[in-house]
Chains A and B, each alone.
Chain A
């Protein structure tokens, strides 16, 4: 197990290196901050001086090596937009992103899995149709459409919740629903399908034949066996939610990482883009590793390290 983790971390480091290389080149192709920031009255000499102060007048490979050397010491450079360390800017914005993504994923897991169970157990009944309708609507439209509709209904018409903002629990409700519904719909379908399959399997018939109570059959036997694909899906949703939150963050003025990256690219704040990419890659590598570990715990047949 330990050697597996080490190997995975090594591969992760390589991924990180490749990612930084790609992003380093790409952001530099977009534009030149000396043109964006300085007034047009600036002469070419002014712009060159500005580039020098930002460290952008050196050849890109030199800049890249300097970036890696800084990275090794935990120094991501300074954001010229905010006059603050780039990593600090990213970490400030990571918190709200994790809160929103976490809330959306929790919502998706709780609602999606329970609707899936309900729908599998009472197949063809009223709750099944309600849950299916929930899933179809959730997957039918992009999250930002729901975001706008929710604001219209719950904020502008009913005045129950604030239109946007960050800091209070009330601010979290609508973005969580808008962002989480799509994943909840996916989880509901997946749970339903897997559970139906498990409920029809031989071991469930066996358990029932032994006279075990129905809830034990359902939770201990059927659901545990249906859990693996559900967990894989949920984990993959985390990355998707983190990345897909950009439109939701914009609509709800949520100060998260997604909107920071978008702004930083359009403002050519290179250091922040780089720091944000490094932080998100590390985060995703960590999550994937954690999920793989979880597999081994849930299913003793899965072994790593050989």
Chain B
């Protein structure tokens, strides 16, 4: 082919690309009765009482129903239960059930189904990942009558009502008992949620259909189709061509570009999940045992610049570990450490490290690599050299859960129960899995919060915890984490603030 000929062909191709300029279509991918959602990850187990909560929360809220649920901001609201009585010592939780609630198979929901659901979690053979939330605290589940369920706890658990709302999906006792084994439930799950399972095959789409006998307000959308599109750019392309109506976990680098696209809404949703560097503080010979060092390194980070450069501006500095997007416990008036390298150097010198020191930072592959690099660069400026060790997420969990990822690791937690106890107790108490941080003041406050079921009081206690963690520089807090969604403008859908849940109970087309 001659050169001019080749150029002409390329020019034609280029013209096709540019003249076909377009806006992302703002009409339903299928029809106004259907919602098509692109997810980044395949579903695992459809038994939401067994599957890892982070995975089940995509389908869980649509298929399953709970005694209490969370509203759009994470406040507890009655669902199958109409009310709950909590004993003064936070050890007896009595739920009154709604009458006439139907399961997808037509059976009526009663107290024995709630008990069977708890038993399903507790049985070791079922390999439920929720077991560790209930086994240590639940002493007995009593059913005084068909519409009353009483949980007796071994120890006070102020967050128990939230655990029940987040983890205890109610499934039918008789149906469970009729199955050849517990795993069979995962192939054909039945609960009482607003949608029921229509079709699912491993590797294929998950299709849900509205449950016409749902006790509550019925959703406007009849069919929800979940498509699995693991590659981020492919999810973006699918929303650009209109093949899907909503794409989750849109990559941050695409945020600005998609914002300019007509016909699309791009939503950054805070997931109440602070991105931070966790540190071990309890080894006496470690520099991090000294508060001055921890404070110094907090001053040494320009978090605003990190958010702008690494997180593409999709973030927000956090003053401590308790996000203000929790319904309670966060302190909106708290301020992060300002960027002050001079002060950092002074503090380091005072702590006995005028020339800094060398240390190590773990970063799992699910975290942006640039984040660890940016931290290393900032700390390098005050003399602290950082060796970054980047490892696969699966390997990292083993190190992190066994106190072997010291002294530093980039970490982040999502929370499924809207109560700060989950990350705080895991990261900043003596018994915590993720840290050896030990502060008698925090221990005392956590003991108090465990005895307290009233969320107004929990709010006050957690605020105190947050202040201690900030002043003590218990970790190096970087940013609020956001999930970015892209949806068609005419899709009427509100995100679930402060969590990674997908809530399609209120979705519709404008």
Inside 8 A of A253's CB, which chain B residues have their CB? 227-231, 234
A145-162 residues with Cβ-Cβ distance < 8 A to B are: 148, 151-153, 155-159, 162
- Which of B47, B127, B133, B398 is close to A32, meaning CB atoms less than 8 Å apart? B398
B201 in contact (CB, < 8 A): yes
| Size band of the interface chain B makes with A | 35 or more
| Size band of the interface chain A makes with B | 35 or more
B87 in contact (CB, < 8 A): no
Contacts A155-B241, A157-B20, A158-B20 given: A38-B129 contact, CB under 8 Å?
yes
Q: Do B426 and A41 touch (CB < 8 A)?
A: yes
A42 in contact (CB, < 8 A): yes
Inside 8 A of B127's CB, which chain A residues have their CB? 50, 53-54, 80
CA distance A265 to B230 in the complex (A): 15
Inside 8 A of B50's CB, which chain A residues have their CB? 83
Contact digits for A123-154, partner B, Cβ 8 Å, 1 yes 0 no: 00010011001000000000000001001110
Contacts A36-B394, A158-B20 given: A46-B202 contact, CB under 8 Å?
no
Q: Do B397 and A78 touch (CB < 8 A)?
A: no
Q: Do A252 and B45 touch (CB < 8 A)?
A: no
CA distance A265 to B392 in the complex (A): 10
- Which of A40, A78, A266 is close to B401, meaning CB atoms less than 8 Å apart? A40
B135 in contact (CB, < 8 A): yes
Inside 8 A of B392's CB, which chain A residues have their CB? 30-31, 266
CA distance A260 to B316 in the complex (A): 36
Inside 8 A of B496's CB, which chain A residues have their CB? none
Residue of A nearest to B431 (CB): A43
Chain B nearest Cβ from A197, distance in angstroms: 26
Inside 8 A of A153's CB, which chain B residues have their CB? 13, 16-17
A49 in contact (CB, < 8 A): yes
Contact digits for A187-218, partner B, Cβ 8 Å, 1 yes 0 no: 00000000000000000000000000000000
Chain A nearest Cβ from B348, distance in angstroms: 32
Q: Do A157 and B16 touch (CB < 8 A)?
A: yes
Residue of B nearest to A253 (CB): B229
5 additional A-B pairs beyond A38-B132, A39-B133, A43-B132, beta carbons within 8 Å, are A36-B397, A92-B202, A148-B233, A164-B243, A255-B203
**20 residue pairs from A and B, CB less than 8 Å apart:** A35-B401, A40-B426, A41-B433, A42-B132, A53-B124, A54-B127, A126-B1, A148-B233, A157-B17, A164-B234, A164-B238, A164-B243, A166-B203, A166-B204, A250-B234, A253-B227, A253-B228, A253-B234, A255-B204, A268-B394
Pick the 3 closest A-B CB pairs, nearest first. Answer: A255-B203, A31-B394, A42-B132
* Interface set of A (CB-CB < 8 Å, partner B): 30-32, 35-43, 46, 49-50, 52-54, 78, 80-84, 89, 92-93, 96, 126, 129-130, 133, 148, 151-153, 155-159, 162-166, 250-253, 255, 259-260, 263, 265-268
